[in-house]
Chains A and B, each alone.
Chain A
Amino acid sequence: MTFALIRFLPTSANVPFIKIRIWAIAFSVLLVLGSLFEFSNVGINFGIDFRGGIQTEVRTTEPADVEAMRQVVGDLNLGDPRIQQTGNPREVLISLPLQPGEGLEGEEAQQVARRALEAALQDNFPGIELRGTDVIGGAVSGELVVKGFVAVSLALFLMLVYIWFQFEWQFSVGAILALTHDVIATVGMFSVTQMTFDLATVAAILTIVGYSMNDTVIVYDRIRENLRKYKKMPLGELLNMSINDTLSRTILTSSTTLVALLALYTIGGEALKSFSFAMIWGVVIGTYSSIFVAAPLLLFIGVKRDGSSS
């Protein structure tokens, strides 16, 4: 039996990753600072889950007249409306901000506003179909923000503990710095593109954290193995060898994951757009950080090499 195998990559790569670590670290620092700058200056386009308010997805019989909709919804005086066209010209996403009011009165006001919005749309655009409506109150959206933040932090912490148990503490620090780098870069990406950041995006970030960790662990696992095998090799050389050993695996896995995610992004429908976008970016940045951040960081932190490490 013979198979014509396509060799994407040379079976033994020898890219001098460690030599260019200064550039990589400089790039990463710029990326993180730029992300933080964008985040604090422009901010994130939070979705309704975190902002609270009313959002409805409508489908019209003819291509939607966005200007007319803006007029009709604006005339309701329920705050500044957002009218967003999706990929389909007949489909529009309309959202209203959180309605004012203390406590449960505010929640009632939300329902009143939703009914007014639905009635106005149905009266002015005959045949319009309200396909999905979300109403998120102030209390719930506030809790979701906290929950999302707690979830990401808790996941980072648990992984830190796991890596610490499995490897040396130096690895744990390197991995967490790389993960934090990925999370900040993703938040920065959402600030730049102004894609909607909602509950699904937090899920995506957590998955990115898991994925990037996955990548980092594979490289670390090889470093640990090589540390035992080559007791005298200089650390820089050893790190470089380990990255190269796992390079074709890293690229292949990232590629298959990216291919699957691209399918999701292009044909998975509107509701999963921001999720798959975050994931695609996360896979790219996670792969980058495992190679260029997590491993070289070990050189800066230093690794114990007295043979007692297990």
Chain B
Amino acid sequence: MLQFGRWKLFSIIAVIFLGVLYSLPNLVPESDRYSVNEIDNSQEPRGIWRWIPSKTVNLGLDLQGGSHIVFEVNMAEVREGQLETLAADARQTLRAATPPLLARSVAVVGDEVVVLMARPDDRDAAYDVLSELSQPVSSALGQPGLTQTLDVRRDGSDLSAIRLGVTPEQLEAIRTRTVTQSIEVIRRRLDGLGTTDPTIARQGDSRVLVQVPGASDPDAIIAIVGAQASMSFHLVDETINPGPNGQARVPPGRTIYPMASTNPPTYLAVETASRLTGENLTSASVSTSQTAVGPVVAFRFDTQGALVFGDMTRNNVGKRFAIVLDGEIITAPNIRGPILGGSGIIEGNFTYETAQQLVVLLNAGALPASLTPVEQRTVLASLGQDQIESGELAVLVGFLAVIVFMIAAYGLFGVFATIALMVNVILIMGALSGLGATLTLPGIAGIILTIGMAVDANVLIYERIREENKLGRTPANALQAGYERALSAILDANVTTFIAAAVLYMLGAGPVRGFAITLAIGIITSVFTAFVFSRLLAVIWLRAFKPKAIPL
């Protein structure tokens, strides 16, 4: 226990050196560590920071301010859409069969599509063709898997009925795809806005977590992230009067939409089937026009979109078409002549901000499903700053109190424990910085708690040395026995606390996770500083002064 070989000594010094190295950046202002590239605003370490670690501890949103929003992907909507498509496919398949098979009805009932054949004799033939609609589920990597997308069954009691359901595996694949696509779209949108350092991550089955540091207005994020941005182009049917509330009855194939930002609200009836959708757009940008007062949004169609748009405008000169975005008509201009170039502008009474927002939405594409915020936490930067300050003060006061306590109780050995404690805090900061972990307010509490509990190992050892001392051992023997005998208690005690921290990490979210991380790191570093480092200090003292008795 009292022998430190060359390699052991080297490792101890190396660990402490690394701790200091990794925690160092936290003491130097960012502007001294990084130079900003003025072209793309990216940061480059400068000077000595190019060679040594330059990362600081990441502050959680509760400390630096910002918005944390969890969105739920509306899977019910996706499932309904899926079943509608399935019903349409089933109708098409039966019609296309040779000879055509006649269905009495094909309808979505609950979470199935029910096909009722006109003649029960046709059922087996229909079953065969409908079964071909089912395909192997493609996995996340795109390879076909073993399970089928559809579950096609002949109804047991109704001899003319066939039921088509989507298998759980396919639903899961759809869910994963929908959430992944949503995350991609959200990322493109936030990047388009130039948001700094957003975090976008899947959470649970069908949720997406969006964290934006520094954003104090959650509504701005909800507006840009939560908008489905599904855009479509429809011809306006001016022969129909939508009525004052848009409640007029319309013939099949026509739909009434409200006009955006009109007060009182006004309505237009349009063809339900869209001529073009946002998927046909290749790019959009903010622009100006001679005819409009404010900014306009210019867009370009892809080749196919340009052809369709050209045809639509050529054949409907003098009529109006409507651009519908998420259930609202943003503009409904007159077609003055054919537009063949494949580009156009939207004049929608925009301010620069709303135009920019629409551009970002159009360029990022539509979300595959609507998103609803289910959890939102917003912290103002000033509150975060206050919390950092009170947290720092609490750490400092707690630290001083523990030092006073330890030195009062153990004298010189208390000083060893104090030095070990300081190294401990440096190691915790170094580990947090090096691992890129996030420090939250509960995380600070974890550090304070670690400071209080870290001395436990020292206390155990010193109490043990005291006991051994009383038995009349020599100082070296007492030290040796004290460290040796205290080890099992220290390990058992720390493993149990580590279990608690690990469980917290697995089940906790956000701030609580930050607490678990600092607690877990603190347990590991405190075993090292209390058991290994403070022992080294005691041994150095023993060698240097050769004391007759241990001052404990």
The interface of chain A, by Cβ under 8 A from chain B, is 1-6, 8, 11-12, 57, 104, 107-108, 110-111, 114-115, 129-137, 139-140, 147-148, 150-151, 154-155, 158-159, 162-163, 166, 199-200, 202-203, 206-207, 209-211, 213-215, 217-218, 221-222, 225, 245-246, 248-249, 252-253, 255-261, 263-264, 267-269, 271-272, 275-276, 279
Contact = CB atoms under 8 A, between A and B. Distances in A.
Given A133-B218, A136-B375, A207-B519, A162 B394 contact: no
A163 B547 CA distance: 40
Contacts of A252: 405, 409, 459, 463
A163 B496 CA distance: 9
B119 to A, nearest CB: 42
Grouping DSSP codes into helix (H, G, I), strand (E, B) and loop, the B interface class, with mixed when no group exceeds half, is helix
Contacts of B470: 11-12
B219 A115 contact: yes
A245 B372 CA distance: 59
Contacts of A132: 377-380, 383
B488 interface: yes
A129 B380 contact: yes
B484 to A, nearest CB: 12
Contact of B390 (A104, A147, A148, A268): A268
A131 B519 CA distance: 28
Nearest to A4: B411
Contact of B493 (A214, A256, A261): A214
Contacts of A248: 463
A131 B383 contact: yes
Interface in B479-497: 485, 488-489, 492-497
A246 B489 CA distance: 11
B551 A130 contact: no
A210 B551 contact: no
- Residue among B378, B379, B445, B485 with the highest chain A CB neighbour number at 10 A: B445
A161 to B, nearest CB: 9
Interface of B: 62, 70, 72, 74, 218-219, 222, 372-380, 382-383, 386-387, 390-391, 393-394, 397-399, 401-402, 405-406, 408-412, 441-442, 444-445, 448-449, 451-453, 455-456, 459-460, 463, 466-467, 470, 485, 488-489, 492-501, 503-504, 506-508, 511-512, 515-516, 519, 545, 547, 551-552
Contacts of A202: 512
A273 to B, nearest CB: 11
B443 to A, nearest CB: 10
Contact of A107 (B374, B455, B456, B463): B374
B372 A104 contact: yes
Nearest to B441: A271
22 contacts: A107-B373, A129-B382, A130-B380, A131-B383, A137-B373, A137-B374, A151-B506, A159-B496, A199-B508, A199-B512, A209-B500, A211-B497, A218-B460, A253-B455, A253-B460, A256-B405, A257-B449, A261-B398, A261-B452, A268-B390, A269-B386, A269-B390
A264 B507 contact: no
A111 B373 contact: yes
A246 B496 CA distance: 18
Contact of A260 (B411, B451, B498): B451
B501 to A, nearest CB: 7
Contacts of A222: 489
A259 B379 contact: no
A65 to B, nearest CB: 21
A227 to B, nearest CB: 14
Contacts of B453: 211, 214, 253, 256-257
A45 B201 CA distance: 32
B378 A257 contact: no
B497 A214 contact: yes
B72 A264 contact: no
Contact of A275 (B376, B408, B445, B466): B445
Contact of B74 (A104, A151, A271): A104
A32 B168 CA distance: 46
Contacts of B507: 147-148, 150-151, 154
Contact of B374 (A139, A147, A148, A210): A139
